[in-house]
Structure 1
Amino acid sequence: MRIPGVDVRFAIIRIASTAALFTAWEWYGSQPGQFALPPPSKVFPALVESIVDGGLVQAAIGTLWVGAVGFSIAAVLGVTLGLVIANVSWADNTLTPLVNAAYAAPITMLVPIIGIYTGLGFTGKVTLVVLFAFFVILINTEAGVRQVREDLVETARSFEASRIQIARHVMLPSTMPFILNGLRLGVGRAVRGAIVAELLLLVSNLGLFLIRAGATFNMPRLMAGIFFTMLMGYAVMWFAGYLERRSLRWRGEATY
C-alpha cells in the first residue's frame, strides 16, 4: 500500500525500532533489584500524573521562557556579528580567533563567572542560554556570507550599490539558508542551555522538578521529567526545522 507523501517502509522501520527499544527497556527495568531505570509501565503513569497536576507543564513553560529570551538575544547578536566578521577585515582578524577559542571552551565552566557578574536569577540564566546558542548562529552566518558568489557582489558594485545595499540584496538572500540552519541549531542549544542554567544556577522550573524527584529517589517521576524534556526538545527542534523548510520553500518560489 502506498500513501502519498509517506515512505511506508521507513515508517514501519521507525515504529518497529521504537517498539523494540521500549520492549527492551521494559524488560530491563523490570528485573529484580533494578532501581535506577524504572520500566515504561511505571514511567508513563508518573508522566501523566505530573502533567495532570500541572507541575510539569508549569515548569516547562518557565524553562521555555528562559530559553526563548536567551535565544532571541543570541539570534540578533549572532546574525549581526556574523555579518560583520565576514564583511569587515579588521573585525575578522580581531574577533575570529576569540570566537573560535570561546566556541571550543566548555560553556558550563563559565557558570561561576556568570553567577558573580549577573547573579543566579533570571539574568544569569538568560546569559548562559545566550552563550549556548550564540556561537553556532554566528559561525553559520559567517560561513553563509563567505560562500556568496563573488561575481554577484562585483555585479552589484558595478551598478554602484552601497555596502548596505549589497548586504541586503545580495549577501542576505544567499546567506539565508545558512542563517536559518544556524537558528535551528541555536534553538536546540537554547533549550539545553535553559535546562543547564536551571540546574547549575538558581534551581527552578524543570531543573527544580528533576532535582526534587532525584532527591526523593522517585525514579519514575525523575525519568518522566527526563522523557518529557526530551520530547519538548524534539518538538522545539521539529518546529524550528518546519519553519526553516517553509522559509526556504517560500524563498525558492519567490525567485521565479
Structure 2
Amino acid sequence: MTVVAPTTIGQTLSEVFRTGSIWPDLTISMQGFAAGYALAAAVAIPLGLFIGASTLAYRWANPWVNALYATPIVGLAPLFIIIFGFGLQAKVAVVVALCVFPILINTVSGARAVSVDHKELAVVFQASKLETFGRVLFPGAMPFILTGLRLAIGRGLIGVVVADLFGASAGLGLNLQRSAQSFDTANIFAVTVLLAFLGIALTSIIEFFERRAYRGMA
C-alpha cells in the first residue's frame, strides 16, 4: 500500500463530504451501529443486573458468558449474512454480537460490587425486587455499565465494517473494500480516519457521563 501524505488524506476526506459521496455509506453504517448498540445495551444491562444480583445465576452463567466472550464472533459474520441477508439486519446482528458481552460482563461486575449494606438496607425497608434493581443495583452499577458501553463502541464499529466486508449493498466497510480493489489508497486512509474520529467522538460522550457517575459516587 502506497503511503499517503496527511494533507492528501485531509483533502480526500473533505472532498467526499463536499461531494456527498460518503453520506449513503456513512448513514447506513451508523444506522446499523446505532440499532445494534442500543439493542445490545437493552439486553445486556437488565440481564447483567439479574446475573450479578443472584449468586445462583452468577455461578451458572459466568462460565458461559466468559466462553462466549472469548469466542471470535467476527468469524461468525458470514453466518449472520446467510441468515439475515445483505441488508441492515445483518449489520445489526453482528454489532449486537460484538457489543453485548463487554456491556454484560461490566454490568455483572457492577451489580456484584454494590455494597452489601445498601442491599440490606433495601431489605430492611421491604423494597420489592423491582425497586431494589431500580434504586440500588442500577445506580450502584452505573460506573461499570458506562465502562462497558464505552468498551463496546470500538467493537461495534468493527462489527459494522466486518459485516460490510462479507457482503453489503452500502456501508463504510464496502467503501473500504471498493477503494482497496481500485487501489485508491487515499480514500482507504480517509475512511479509516473517519472511523477513528467516530470512535473518539462516541467514546468521549460516554466518558463524560462516566466521569459524572464516578463523581456522584465520591
CA–CA separation in structure 1 for the residues paired with 2:138 and 2:7: 51
Unaligned runs of 5+ in 1: 1-34
User: What is the percentage of aligned positions where both structures have the same residue?
Assistant: 35
* Equivalent residue in structure 2 for 1:149, among 115, 134, 141: 115
CA–CA separation in structure 2 for the residues paired with 1:199 and 1:234: 22
Instruction: Give the structure 1 partner of residue 99 of structure 2.
Output: 133
- Tell me the SS of whatever aligns to 1:55: coil
- Tell me the SS of whatever aligns to 1:78: helix
Compare relative contact order (CA 8 Å, sep 6+) and give the higher one, 1 or 2. Answer: 2
Q: Give the C-alpha shift of residue 137 in structure 1.
A: 0.4
Instruction: Give the structure 1 partner of residue 85 of structure 2.
Output: 119
The number of residues matched between the two structures is 218
Instruction: Give the structure 2 partner of residue 6 of structure 1.
Output: none
Question: 1:148-186, CA deviations, whole angstroms, 9 ceiling, x for partnerless residues?
Answer: 111221122122222222222222211111112211222
Question: 1:51-82, CA deviations, whole angstroms, 9 ceiling, x for partnerless residues?
Answer: 11111233222211110000000001110110
- Which amino acid counterpart does residue 157 of structure 1 have in structure 2? V
CA–CA separation in structure 2 for the residues paired with 1:149 and 1:246: 20
Unaligned runs of 5+ in 2: none
Q: Give the C-alpha shift of residue 247 in structure 1.
A: 5.3
Does the CA-based 8 Å contact 1:129-1:193 persist in structure 2? Answer: yes
CA–CA separation in structure 1 for the residues paired with 2:23 and 2:152: 23
Once the two structures are superposed, the pairs formed by residues 170-249 of structure 1 within 5 Å of their partners are 170-202=136-168, 204-246=170-212
Q: Could you tell which deviates more after superposition, 150-159 or 59-68?
A: 150-159
CA–CA separation in structure 2 for the residues paired with 1:116 and 1:213: 25
Q: Give the C-alpha shift of residue 136 in structure 1.
A: 0.4
Q: TM-score when scaled to structure 2?
A: 0.91
Q: Give the C-alpha shift of residue 115 in structure 1.
A: 2.4
Instruction: Give the structure 2 partner of residue 95 of structure 1.
Output: 61
